[in-house]
Structure 1
Amino acid sequence: MEDDNCPPRSALYAFPPIGVGTADVESLTSYFCRLAVAHCVSSTDLLHRISKTCGWSAPPKNFWKDVNLGGMGDVAERYACALSAMTSVERLDLLTLRPWRNVIAKSSKAPATTRWCAACFEEDLVQGGMPYFRLAWDVGDIDVCAKHGTRLPDACSDCGRTGARNNAACVVPGWCCYCGAPLGRVQEAHASASAAETWKAAQVGQLLAAQASIISAPDRGAMMERVRKLIDQLDDGMSARFARRIGSNKSTVHYWFKQGVPTLAAHLRIASQTGVSLLALLTGCVDGEIPCLRETPSLAELFPDYKKRASPRRSDSSHVEEQMDELHQSDDAVSVSDASRRLNVHRRRLYRLDNAKAHIIGAKWLEQQRHRSEQHRLEAARAIEAAVADILSSGKAPNLREVQQLVSREVLGGVRGLFAMIQEASAKIEESKSATLP
């Protein structure tokens, strides 16, 4: 007689994931490493076992450097499904960012190195649990731990080597892969996080805590409708003004509405400058109230590399018009681009101030250039004719090489149709010779 409470048979231990439904949710990388430790095999052996079962090609040696199992890519989905099938544990995709694949661009920033929070590892040991990797540590736009307010290190405090978290054949979460030292040693030298960095981490933490309760993946249409309402409420429906508000290009915002998806960094920009939480923005929760902009960090605090656009240069229109008159009446012709540089204004503004004068300045420049080109061509034709005459008098056949030896580059440079000009000069000389013959 079978026991109804007996779990189904599975190829791997049916480990329950840690922290599902909280901001400290475990990452799929951590779940994979814990499975390998529980089965007393290396991570490489477990990778080969999964690949063989699923009929995949063998993973490369640098698997952990090239693959982010907690991301939104297809690799994260493949391994989440494979581990769910082999452990009989459902919804292991909750240990990745896959639930947000429709509303967060896959091109979002990925972490350059593997990071961790030493205080979190220490808490795991104090509470008698097994240390594990948090999914929040694998979010590229987050550099701090929201719970402890410290930056996430990427180097072992004992041996100083980076990639010490899980870049090895045998990985025990919480200990260095190189020297075996515990990574949970809190260093006093660890810099504390700023309020803006903590705000970003807290917003992402709310997102990770909520994804366990989401039945279906958030819809892009609902998310963009929420953005549209924010533009209507805050910037009178003007997307260009909204783009300036969030420190982005207006073409980027237009692309989002057409077919694109904002990155996580772009969503954080929108949330910080509109007063809407990141979770409400991505899930498309719409309310009729105007968002509150208090107690939200600035773009410069959130993104230190952010540079505010410089204010447009302003100049006296009457002074610019007077200078245009001087250029128009001057004997020296200048191009419109050169005139804009001299007057320190954009060339389009010259056309706006006085379209007729700007066109006259440009036409005067073109006429001067055409005249110079014609004079240059006439000078080159005379030099080529003299060179051809010398070549014929020496009994040689005129060609480009012979002509280039007799005429300087300054004369021939920029002249088109040299072969035709040499042939014309030869024909002209032959005709003059034949005309002088009795």
Structure 2
Amino acid sequence: MLFETLKLYPSWDIEKTAIPQRSRLYHLEPIGIGTPYVESLTGYVQRIAHEHCVTVRRLTITEIAPLMGKEAKLLDESISKVFGTGRDRTAFNGTGLMATNLVGAMSALTGRLDLRYLTLLPWAQVISKRGLLRRHRAWCPKCYQQWHDNHTSVYEPLLWSINTAQVCPYHHQPLQEQCPYCHQRQLTISGDSRTGHCNKCGKWLGNNRYKTVVTSQIKSEAERNRQLNVANNLGELVAVTPTLNYPPNFQKLSNTISTYILQVLKSSIPAFSRQSGMNKATIGLWCKGKVIPQIDNLLVLTHYLEISLLDFLTTDVLLADSKNTCLEPELNVVKQPRKSYKHLDLERKQVLNVVLIEVLKEYPAPRANASKVLLITDRIKTQRKISYFWLDLFSKA
């Protein structure tokens, strides 16, 4: 009789596998984080809608609105109650509360924790939101066409939404703000937005075979170089955002401005205002930490100081005796000696009073023009001499 040998097989693990939490929408990775051409938050919303084969309007009303405290039943198929008017929608890529709310909603829907880098939120303490973002959509047709021809994702870079960025840093041509077909400007994001297409007529904006509508002329090579330098400075700023260990502080920025003016340049605030052409009161408010500088003023300031915008906002100025650098403008101004005025004695005052009374008796009254003033002055001098003559005569008698 043959004995069968028993084999020991590995036991089964009947415990349930832990399934990671699923996101409501696709865990779509943003484009270009850590580069000058990082994607904008409004552009990311458009790509999410395209990946789910729905319009931005439908995505906003059914998914985004409830997370932003809006009831979908009350929206009546309009996203204006969620995104606001055209002027308000530019703020979604900026530094304020609207950008914070949209980042929170999209992070909850996609499970992404890096969506704040698609905005300028990390720079909220050192860059004013006033004049920061353009009110209308802007784009580079050559970038659109290049991405389309290379079969890569077409998207909306954050750099295009910044107001002071006027040229494409790669193709060196002005950014467009009007559709070449319907000649209309477009909102930053709308219910019918499609990346690379006109929000009004739906035409493709990347085909550069049409006659380009140039909205901003670059008249000289120097102006072109200046605008390219601005675009490069802004590109460096958005590229370094994910690597910041802590957000820049406004108090530190105000100390930096004071240190550069008063110690590096060895100048006073009024003198620096005259040299740079910037407003003296504005510079003083920066130094005192009362006003956050606007992006265009920061670019003018850094251009004058010959330092990049990124270094100016992030680099420590290590100088001796840097405490209390924000001095009052008058402390560094050489005070001019006051002019000394000769006071009239009582006798001269009486004579001058008699002359002025005689002048006031004239009819019609003398007009206050230059010739009349000179005439009255000569008359006063003449009558003063006559008065002094009679005074001397009576004193000798």
Fold equivalence (TM over 0.5): yes
Alignment correspondent of 2:113? 90
Q: Is the 8 A contact 1:231 1:237 kept in 2?
A: yes
Residue 174 of structure 1 pairs with residue 196 of structure 2: yes
CA deviation after TM superposition for structure 1 residue 138, in Å: 0.8
In 2, the alpha carbon distance for the partners of 1:195 and 1:372 equals: 66
Q: Is the 8 A contact 1:219 1:283 kept in 2?
A: no
Match of 1:231 among 261, 272, 275: 261
Alignment correspondent of 1:63? 84
Q: Show CA shifts across 1:256-278 (max 9, x none).
A: 12221111111101110001110
Q: Show CA shifts across 1:275-330 (max 9, x none).
A: 11100111143366xxxxxxxxxxxxxxxxxxxxxxxxxxxxxxxxxxxxxxxxxx
Q: Is the 8 A contact 1:231 1:238 kept in 2?
A: yes
Alignment correspondent of 2:310? 279
Count of matched residue positions in the alignment of Structure 1 and Structure 2: 308
> Secondary structure of the equivalent of 1:175?
coil
CA deviation after TM superposition for structure 1 residue 3, in Å: 6.4
Alignment correspondent of 1:244? 274
The amino acid of 1:17's aligned partner reads: P
Alignment correspondent of 1:53? 67
CA deviation after TM superposition for structure 1 residue 232, in Å: 3.2
Task: Structure 2: state its 5+ residue gaps.
Answer: 1-14, 320-335, 365-397
In 2, the alpha carbon distance for the partners of 1:64 and 1:91 equals: 27
Alignment correspondent of 1:269? 300
Residue range with higher mean Cα deviation, 167-176 or 51-60: 51-60
Residue 142 of structure 1 pairs with residue 165 of structure 2: yes
Alignment correspondent of 1:25? 38
Q: Is the 8 A contact 1:54 1:82 kept in 2?
A: yes
CA deviation after TM superposition for structure 1 residue 221, in Å: 2.2
In 1, the alpha carbon distance for the partners of 2:59 and 2:274 equals: 49
Q: Per the alignment, do residues 108 and 246 of structure 1 end up closer, same or farther by CA in structure 2, a change over 3 Å counting?
A: farther
The amino acid of 1:262's aligned partner reads: P
In 2, the alpha carbon distance for the partners of 1:178 and 1:30 equals: 17
Q: Is the 8 A contact 1:245 1:273 kept in 2?
A: no
In 1, the alpha carbon distance for the partners of 2:104 and 2:291 equals: 27
CA deviation after TM superposition for structure 1 residue 9, in Å: 0.9
Alignment correspondent of 1:158? 181
The amino acid of 2:58's aligned partner reads: D
Question: Which has the larger share of helix?
Answer: 1
The amino acid of 1:50's aligned partner reads: I
Alignment correspondent of 1:324? none
Match of 1:100 among 118, 123, 136: 123
Q: Is the 8 A contact 2:89 2:189 kept in 1?
A: no
Q: Is the 8 A contact 1:222 1:284 kept in 2?
A: no
- Cα-Cα RMSD: 3.4
The amino acid of 1:217's aligned partner reads: P
CA deviation after TM superposition for structure 1 residue 180, in Å: 2.2
CA deviation after TM superposition for structure 1 residue 35, in Å: 1.3
Q: Show CA shifts across 1:160-189 (max 9, x none).
A: 2221x6554222100112222211123675
Q: Is the 8 A contact 2:136 2:188 kept in 1?
A: no
In 2, the alpha carbon distance for the partners of 1:180 and 1:3 equals: 47
The amino acid of 1:157's aligned partner reads: P
Task: Structure 1: state its 5+ residue gaps.
Answer: 289-348, 377-438
Q: Per the alignment, do residues 215 and 8 of structure 1 end up closer, same or farther by CA in structure 2, a change over 3 Å counting?
A: farther
CA deviation after TM superposition for structure 1 residue 239, in Å: 1.9
